[in-house]
Amino acid sequence: MGSEIAQLLSELREDEVIAKVKSELEAGTDPNTILEMCQEGMVLVGDRFEEGEYFISELMMSGEIFNQISEILAPGLTGTGGTKSGKIVFGTVQGDIHDIGKNLVVGLLRASNFDVIDLGVDVPPEKFVEALKETGAPVLALSGLLTIAFDAMKATVKAVEDAGLRDGVKIVLGGAPVDDTVVAYAGADAAGGDAQHGVKLCKKWFNV
Amino acid sequence: MNPEEIKNLFDRRLGRYQAAIALEPVDRMPIACGSNYFAEVYSGNDHQTTVYNQEKWLEAEKIFIRDFPEVDVLRDNRIYAPLFDVVNCRTYRMPGRDLEANTWFQFVEKENMKADEYDLLIENPTAFMLERYLPRVLGDFAEPGSHRAQVALLKGGMAFAQMGQVMRNRGLTLEKECGMPQPTAGFFLAPFDVIADAFRGLNGVVMDMFRKPDKLRAACDALVDEMVNMALVTADPLKRYPIFVPTHKPMFLSPSQFEEFYWPSFKKTILTLLDAGHNVRAYLEGDWSKHWHHIKELPKGRVVCDIDDQADILKALDDIGGHQCLAGGVLSSMLILEKPKAVKERVKLLCEAAGKDKHLLINGGCNIPHDTKAENYRAMLDAICEFGIYDPSLKPMPKTPPKPVNDVGPRMLTSWEERVDEWGGIRGEESLIRQPWELFEKLAYVWIWSWVS
């Protein structure tokens, strides 16, 4: 039963998986259990992406289906919907307003049960520092599509250092032009690579 | 230089570029980047000046050409912010207006078409533009028929005509004073990208691929003639330069989605332009490696393909090199962050990989970034002139464009026949009246479609 929801979701059969979720709810299945099944489905989607069977459009569609199901389940979830895997502060760096890549990864991280604090786009270094202080998040994810983001990423890493937080925070950079040269220049810890790789990296860092 | 020397220089540069596109022998690898953002700011202009002050464009270009005379082609500026301001278009954020003065202009992708509006788009694309799309993206056109909307159209048309004049003069000045040709002239988008970038947004179009595939395919087909028209009206009438198409969304698509939704209408658009006697320069943005084998379905030596940073240029050379001229190979991060020595080594490797037979234009991935270090750009040029020399005895000359095998007339909202019918006939020489009338009708039609980019 559980694997059927996971299976339908992993095959992106939108109407069927939503109907199945609704019928499970009506039959009295615990919404928390259904959510776990969906998370299982999202892991299968991630596997298919890594195997080269799925591409970004399939990741986006799975995120869309997952969001719809989350809304259906929300009223019946206890507490925050289960224990979160960990906190991540996320944003597109100052001067850059692109958010497609960021939103995709934020969606995938949330579907993997991470508590993501999404600061939006064009975020100045001090706002990242503030959010790290407020939340105590041990991971900071910086996104950027333009090459001007290189300097903004470097400035953000420096602000985290200046605030004395750097030792307790892992910093990952994402976005089309980011590579190891940029990671070294900015003084960050890793390049996120594609969306799925970024999620895997966070899971590794959090030992999930 | 006297006018004859300038003309010789122009011919040598253009001939070299055109020979490389046609996969013919060249004296040396052309230095032929398309979007050279670095050239726009090298003279010291900030980004706000670059998008707002037309007078600074030629000045900046002349300084760039003086310092980098090895360059074979140099493109014009693409964005003139007042064109957007006069109609209150909000699809771009502009430096100095909504962004810091020294930040780049940036495109804002939004859902400007609802999922249930495909039928109108398919049935009458221009009616969709006028009735739905323009009122949503042009703030002053939000209420068609209002005073603001009427004046916005007037201002929009005047600014469009003025911009066309500036571009023509600039092209002529660069040709006659600097001997400098352009990498591209004219513009279009792949039909799928029109829908994904301008109308539905990436998220919307991805959902449509799953939820309403038939409508999406039909809409792509319906946009072919519109994109062909936009390309032909904005292209170089002398057909010296390829028409530019940046591709945006294939990087997000699976091979089967690309084959089902993206490629058929894109291929048809390109083939129609090639049949009309033009060449095309396509930016294959992101990683196209799962899709680029389709480029072999296009006639050899007619479509320059720019390979982006995220794809492997060496693999591209293996897969499609020798079938089309390719461009790219030097990463943005290298041009911005590394040292000249690294750039030189990279150029040497690329020259060796391409050899004489697989024509390559060494370039950044689809562009030379604004923040390129001048010493790295200089190192790139020096290295091309050292390792990219093939046969100095050759002197390729500009080509005569191929004869068109089709005749695509310009699209208009109101045809000449309809107009004459309304007038009840013409008493004098018809062509004297028809020609200017059609010119403005044709430009107005392209103005409507220009807002998809």
Q: Across all residues in chain B, what is the average pLDDT?
A: 95
B321 forms bridges with which residues in the sheet? Answer: B324
Write out pLDDT tens, residues A116-151: 999 999 999 999 999 999 999 999 999 999 998 999
* Alpha-carbon distance B202 to nearest alpha carbon in chain A (angstroms): 8
Q: Counting Cβ atoms within 10 Å, is residue B431 exposed (0-12), middle (13-18) or buried (19+)?
A: exposed
Pairwise CA distance, residues A102 & B202, whole Å: 13
Write out pLDDT tens, residues B127-136: 999 999 999 9
pLDDT of residue A181 exceeding 60, the answer is: yes
Nearest by CB to residue A177, choosing from B104, B203, B332, is B332
Q: Do B252 and A150 touch (CB under 8 A)?
A: no
Q: Do B370 and A148 touch (CB under 8 A)?
A: yes
Residue B169: which residues within 8 A CB-CB, separation 6 or more?
none
**CB-based contact B351:B316 (threshold 8 Å):** no
DSSP 8-state class, residue B113: S
B28 forms bridges with which residues in the sheet? Answer: B389
pLDDT of residue A80 exceeding 70, the answer is: no
User: Given the DSSP bridges, would you call strands B106-107 and B92-93 parallel, antiparallel or unpaired?
Assistant: antiparallel
DSSP 8-state class, residue B392: T
Q: Which residue of A has its CA nearest to B95?
A: A95
Domain that holds residue B167: 3-450
pLDDT of residue A2 exceeding 90, the answer is: no
Q: Which of A41-55, B291-305, B317-331 has the lowest mean pLDDT?
A: A41-55
The two tokens of residue B351 are: 């020259």
Phi (first) and psi of residue B361, to 5 degrees: -110, 105
Residue linked to tokens 């990463």: B331
Strand ranges of the sheet holding A139-143, from the earlier edge strand across to the other edge: A115-118, A87-92, A139-143, A170-174, A190-191
Nearest by CB to residue A12, choosing from B210, B251, B286, is B210
Q: Do B333 and A100 touch (CB under 8 A)?
A: no
In chain B, which residues touch A (CB < 8 A)?
Answer: 93, 99-100, 103-104, 106, 108-109, 202-203, 206-207, 209-211, 251-254, 257, 286, 290, 309-310, 331-334, 336-338, 369-371
CB-CB neighbours of A58 under 10 Å: 23
Report the b/e string of B398-410 with b at 16+ CB within 10 A: bbeeeeeeeeeee
Q: Do A60 and B203 touch (CB under 8 A)?
A: yes
Q: Roughly what angle, to the nearest 10 degrees, separates helices A56-73 and A100-111?
A: 50
In percent, how much of chain B has pLDDT > 70? 100
pLDDT of residue B408: 82
Question: How large is the average pLDDT for residues B186-209?
Answer: 97
Pairwise CA distance, residues B395 & B391, whole Å: 9
Write out pLDDT tens, residues B25-82: 999 999 999 999 999 989 999 999 999 999 899 999 999 999 999 999 998 667 899 9
Q: How far is CA B150 from CA A201, B142, B154, B392, in A?
A: 54, 11, 7, 59
Q: Counting Cβ atoms within 10 Å, is residue B20 exposed (0-12), middle (13-18) or buried (19+)?
A: buried
**CB-based contact B325:B358 (threshold 8 Å):** no
* Alpha-carbon distance A68 to nearest alpha carbon in chain B (angstroms): 13
pLDDT of residue A79: 60
Pairwise CA distance, residues B404 & B399, whole Å: 14
Q: How far apart are the first and last CA of chain A?
A: 25
Residue A136: which residues within 8 A CB-CB, separation 6 or more?
A87
Nearest by CB to residue B100, choosing from A95, A151, A176, is A95
CB-CB neighbours of B100 under 10 Å: 15
B342, B344, B348, B282: which is closest to B316 by C-alpha? B282
Residue A98 with chain B: CB contacts under 8 Å: 106
CB-CB neighbours of A120 under 10 Å: 12
pLDDT of residue B354: 94
In chain A, which residues touch B (CB < 8 A)?
Answer: 12, 14, 54-58, 60-61, 64, 95-98, 100, 146-148, 150-151, 176-177, 179, 181-182, 185
pLDDT of residue B90: 84
Q: Which residue of B has its CA nearest to A61?
A: B207
Phi (first) and psi of residue B423, to 5 degrees: -80, -15
B363 forms bridges with which residues in the sheet? Answer: B329
Question: How large is the average pLDDT for residues A34-59?
Answer: 93
Q: Do B257 and A148 touch (CB under 8 A)?
A: no
The two tokens of residue A122 are: 């064009």
List the alpha helices (DSSP H) in B138-282: 147-178, 191-193, 201-211, 213-234, 255-257, 263-275
Q: Do A176 and B211 touch (CB under 8 A)?
A: no
Question: How large is the average pLDDT for residues A80-107?
Answer: 87
B266, B99, B197, B245: which is closest to B451 by C-alpha? B197
- What CATH number does the domain containing B410 carry? 3.20.20.210
pLDDT of residue A193 exceeding 70, the answer is: yes
pLDDT of residue A1: 44
Residue B261: which residues within 8 A CB-CB, separation 6 or more?
B192, B209, B213, B216, B217, B220, B253
Pairwise CA distance, residues B105 & B93, whole Å: 6
User: Given the DSSP bridges, would you call strands B367-368 and A87-92 parallel, antiparallel or unpaired?
Assistant: unpaired
Residue B209 with chain A: CB contacts under 8 Å: 57
What are the start-end ranges of the E strands in B40-184? 92-93, 106-107
Residue A177 with chain B: CB contacts under 8 Å: 309, 332-333
Q: Which of B47, B92, B252, B372 to mutate to test the interface with A (most CBs of A within 10 A)?
A: B252
The string of DSSP letters for B235-275 reads: S-TT--SPEEEEE-SGGGS-HHHIIIIIHHHHHHHHHHHHH
Question: How large is the average pLDDT for residues A186-207?
Answer: 93
Q: Count contacts between A and B (CB, < 8 Å).
A: 74
Question: How large is the average pLDDT for residues A195-204?
Answer: 92
**CB-based contact A173:A186 (threshold 8 Å):** yes
CA B55 to chain centre: 22
**CB-based contact B262:B223 (threshold 8 Å):** no
CB-CB neighbours of A163 under 10 Å: 16
pLDDT of residue A96: 93
Residue B309 with chain A: CB contacts under 8 Å: 176-177
Length of chain B equals: 453
pLDDT of residue B422 exceeding 50, the answer is: yes
Write out pLDDT tens, residues B368-401: 999 999 999 999 999 999 999 999 999 999 999 8
Q: How far is CA B190 from CA B16, B97, B183, B224, B244, in A?
A: 28, 30, 19, 8, 11
List the domains of chain A with CATH numbers: 2-76 (1.10.1240.10), 87-205 (3.40.50.280)
Question: How large is the average pLDDT for residues A64-83?
Answer: 82
Q: Do B252 and A58 touch (CB under 8 A)?
A: no
* Alpha-carbon distance B238 to nearest alpha carbon in chain A (angstroms): 35
Q: How far apart are the first and last CA of chain B?
A: 39
Pairwise CA distance, residues B197 & B205, whole Å: 9
pLDDT of residue B328: 97
Domains held by chain B: number: 1
Write out pLDDT tens, residues A162-177: 999 999 999 999 998 8
Confidence category of residue A208, pLDDT binned at 50, 70, 90: confident
Confidence category of residue A83, pLDDT binned at 50, 70, 90: low
Q: Which residue of A has its CA nearest to B202?
A: A100
